[in-house]
Chain A
């Protein structure tokens, strides 16, 4: 091989790499566009007879009151019913997507998710206590939400506490998560066993997950958490990349593995706990959104994390829009719909994939 050939090869490879990065950026941009489109669709369809034009007119009325008219019905449907629900769905999708990707990356385990780490089970137990026993840390409207949040955080503290211990490996953390999952599931089952069957139905409904409790206050609260936590996790994507090399290799490259693990899992847990408190356990997205993304654009966390956020949001919003409309006025809980739509899609992608991914 002479010099000219070598340079040619090198230029080719560089070109290939640029295209590879370009593909990832294209994917992120198209996910973003898709999210906007689904946002538009979700905002304009529902069981109400409100027409498409009336819905958009009601939407635009708040920005240009002189140019667009609205009615009480259209305004209520768009601004109080659909928009909080859509935005809560997007925020929940973002938070599940990024939390799942971070947990998988930082624990180097494709099975890691808010569910397998026991966080969802803790939240479900907290909610059960509120629903079945009426006991809660905060009262009124936030009884169930508060309890779910507190118990979800409690579970994460166990995991985080473990991460800080000497000699804790990702494997022990996953196993501990599964142990927590079983303990809290058992606690919930025990409560249910002694509870009135009617009330148990409420717990089951909560466990399945739904966006029905969306409201502006809920959106604002979750928005604060997502806006604070997500960028910090995105900035850490380099460290996550390094940590996929293994703890020791990561340390040798200057990453404080233990600290990074504690920070990222704490933030991911906070995201999940806050989200799950409002929506119930829509755990499947946390597992699947990162995998779907990884199959499409590869494992580089710098692109994976933002993409996983968007895929989670697109997916959750699409599932909820279908769930709201498929047999309206009966609304299917979105947790059921995500599993119905996500399961087959995931299987298809696993079988279609060209390379070994996990």
Chain B
């Protein structure tokens, strides 16, 4: 005990002299006193310095989240470092501090997108899910898949995103209610209907993949698994973006990313502030919609005028995905577009640089978004990525997901291959 104190004291002296480490993001977990990317002994020291008034108070230094910074917070940080904390307070996407009691064994997910659940599977804690929304569970739902989510086929439904069935949730009585949907205000509904139930609202989109996956690791006591998953995904991400980073505008093909409805003369364009823009840029393309903002639909003329060199259409699960082995439906969609007379002169069509890629499983974020970036890198910069195989990354991803699925045998995700 005495030696501990001495070590702490010495560290403190050292740290007093050091500036706070610069970091890309702040891990939004209470106890991260110095507001860096992790919780470690530095935070213990930092908090002690705050108590001694050598440092200004930080919000996250209040590890016990009781509006007081004292030695209890130091103890809490030490427990958190050891992974033995009884309670943990995090800041979620709407900016609320949410306190959860550990361990969290059961969780209901009022889910919109797949990346949260994919992250849970990758962290090896998907079995704690005890109920989720219709869209994952009901045939025809946007996220329903027999082969990709076999364990969800028998999962208990808690109704729709817009109006979750809170009676079901009360019956389940989970340790935590989790949602990735800010829009529908699930949080305030839940607060009114099930007071006392902790609700976390947090997505794991590409832009916040690292920090949110790390927070997930803290919440569910899967920190090592989270780090492993983050390293794997960021490894691929860096591999791709290191090669495209230095490309000049002239070296980047002009890319239209959209989705295709046969017969439609209006096309949505991924604007400069959409989550797809960084994916296009990262893959070595120049986004045709980079100067636009918000959700934009344009007509054929707009596209023909700009003459994109590459067109990427994302496609719903009704044409492709894990449940398909036969690409004929996707091929028919491709043929329908390629035979359009209005696009006949566009260079992407002339040079056969039109690609279709699955939307629900690949494009929409988390680690799976990087798979799309890998595919697109091959299409945009074939010379830079001769040695890269997007399918290899995809197969590694499936290992994280714990799905026994051979991509060389099954599934339709891109066309033409």
A and B touch in the complex (CB under 8 A): yes
Q: How many residues on the A side are at the interface (Cβ–Cβ under 8 A)?
A: 40
Question: For residues 196 through 213 of chain A, which have their beta carbon under 8 Å from a beta carbon of chain B?
Answer: 196-199, 201-202, 205, 210, 212-213
Given A80-B193, A330-B157, A331-B163, verify A202-B171 contact (CB < 8 Å): no
Expressed in whole angstroms, the Cα–Cα distance for A131 and B162 within the complex equals 13
B35 sits at the interface (CB 8 A): no
B91 sits at the interface (CB 8 A): no
B158 sits at the interface (CB 8 A): yes
Residues of chain B contacted by A46 (CB below 8 angstroms): 167
Partner of B163, one of A49, A50, A199, A212: A212
A41 sits at the interface (CB 8 A): no
Q: Which of B157, B160, B193, B296 has the most CB of A within 10 A?
A: B193
Partner of A202, one of B157, B170, B183: B183
Q: How many residues on the B side are at the interface (Cβ–Cβ under 8 A)?
A: 28
Q: Are A210 and B295 in contact (CB under 8 A)?
A: no
Residues of chain A contacted by B195 (CB below 8 angstroms): 76, 80
Given A194-B294, A328-B165, verify A81-B160 contact (CB < 8 Å): no
Q: Are B168 and A47 in contact (CB under 8 A)?
A: yes
Partner of B192, one of A50, A80, A330: A80
Expressed in whole angstroms, the Cα–Cα distance for A202 and B195 within the complex equals 25
Chain B 336-363 near chain A by CB (<8 Å), digits 1 or 0: 0000000000000000000000000000
Question: For residues 137 through 173 of chain B, which have their beta carbon under 8 Å from a beta carbon of chain A?
Answer: 138, 157-160, 162-163, 165-168, 170-171, 173
Expressed in whole angstroms, the Cα–Cα distance for A281 and B124 within the complex equals 44
Min Cβ gap A168→B in Å is 40
Question: For residues 25 through 55 of chain A, which have their beta carbon under 8 Å from a beta carbon of chain B?
Answer: 46-50
Q: Are A331 and B160 in contact (CB under 8 A)?
A: yes
Min Cβ gap B165→A in Å is 4
Q: Are B295 and A76 in contact (CB under 8 A)?
A: no
B194 sits at the interface (CB 8 A): yes
Min Cβ gap A159→B in Å is 31
Given A76-B193, A76-B194, verify A81-B166 contact (CB < 8 Å): yes
A228 sits at the interface (CB 8 A): no
Residues of chain B contacted by A50 (CB below 8 angstroms): 167, 171
Q: Are B167 and A212 in contact (CB under 8 A)?
A: no
Residues of chain B contacted by A215 (CB below 8 angstroms): 189, 192-193
Residues of chain B contacted by A194 (CB below 8 angstroms): 294-296
Residues of chain A contacted by B134 (CB below 8 angstroms): 330
Expressed in whole angstroms, the Cα–Cα distance for A312 and B297 within the complex equals 42
Residues of chain A contacted by B138 (CB below 8 angstroms): 330
Q: Which residue of chain A has the shortest Cβ distance to B188 in the bound complex?
A: A141
B302 sits at the interface (CB 8 A): no
Residues of chain A contacted by B297 (CB below 8 angstroms): 193
Q: Are A333 and B163 in contact (CB under 8 A)?
A: yes
Q: Which of A46, A84, A131, A144 has the most CB of B within 10 A?
A: A46
A217 sits at the interface (CB 8 A): yes
Residues of chain A contacted by B192 (CB below 8 angstroms): 80, 84, 214-217
Question: For residues 172 through 201 of chain B, which have their beta carbon under 8 Å from a beta carbon of chain A?
Answer: 173, 183-185, 188-189, 192-195
Q: Which residue of chain B has the shortest Cβ distance to A212 in the bound complex?
A: B163
Q: Which residue of chain A has the shortest Cβ distance to B274 in the bound complex?
A: A196
Min Cβ gap A1→B in Å is 67
Q: Are A210 and B162 in contact (CB under 8 A)?
A: yes
Q: Are A196 and B295 in contact (CB under 8 A)?
A: yes
A195 sits at the interface (CB 8 A): yes
Expressed in whole angstroms, the Cα–Cα distance for A97 and B256 within the complex equals 52
Q: Are B162 and A73 in contact (CB under 8 A)?
A: no
Min Cβ gap A329→B in Å is 4
Given A195-B295, A215-B193, A330-B134, verify A76-B165 contact (CB < 8 Å): no
Residues of chain A contacted by B184 (CB below 8 angstroms): 202
Q: Are B183 and A330 in contact (CB under 8 A)?
A: no
Min Cβ gap B164→A in Å is 8
A77 sits at the interface (CB 8 A): yes
Expressed in whole angstroms, the Cα–Cα distance for A80 and B192 within the complex equals 7
Q: Are B171 and A131 in contact (CB under 8 A)?
A: no
Question: For residues 209 through 234 of chain A, which have their beta carbon under 8 Å from a beta carbon of chain B?
Answer: 210, 212-217
Partner of B170, one of A48, A197, A328: A48
Min Cβ gap A319→B in Å is 15
Expressed in whole angstroms, the Cα–Cα distance for A72 and B195 within the complex equals 11
Expressed in whole angstroms, the Cα–Cα distance for A184 and B171 within the complex equals 42
Partner of B168, one of A84, A205, A216, A329: A329
Residues of chain B contacted by A212 (CB below 8 angstroms): 162-163, 189
Residues of chain B contacted by A217 (CB below 8 angstroms): 192
Given A80-B194, A215-B192, verify A205-B167 contact (CB < 8 Å): no
Expressed in whole angstroms, the Cα–Cα distance for A194 and B293 within the complex equals 11
Expressed in whole angstroms, the Cα–Cα distance for A222 and B173 within the complex equals 30
Expressed in whole angstroms, the Cα–Cα distance for A214 and B163 within the complex equals 11
Expressed in whole angstroms, the Cα–Cα distance for A213 and B162 within the complex equals 10
Min Cβ gap B46→A in Å is 32
Min Cβ gap A295→B in Å is 33
Expressed in whole angstroms, the Cα–Cα distance for A16 and B388 within the complex equals 92
Partner of A47, one of B160, B167, B173: B167
In the complex, besides A80-B193, A81-B194, A331-B165, 12 extra interface pairs with C-beta distance below 8 angstroms are A47-B168, A48-B168, A48-B171, A72-B173, A73-B170, A76-B193, A81-B166, A81-B167, A84-B192, A205-B163, A210-B163, A212-B189
30 contacts between A and B (CB under 8 A): A47-B159, A47-B165, A47-B167, A47-B168, A72-B173, A76-B193, A76-B194, A77-B170, A80-B193, A80-B195, A131-B183, A141-B188, A194-B296, A195-B294, A195-B295, A202-B162, A210-B162, A210-B163, A212-B189, A213-B189, A214-B192, A215-B189, A215-B192, A217-B192, A328-B168, A329-B168, A330-B138, A330-B159, A330-B160, A333-B163
Q: Which 8 A-B pairs have the closest CB atoms?
A: A215-B192, A48-B167, A329-B165, A212-B163, A196-B295, A141-B188, A329-B159, A205-B162
Contact residues of B with A, CB < 8 Å? Answer: 134, 138, 157-160, 162-163, 165-168, 170-171, 173, 183-185, 188-189, 192-195, 294-297
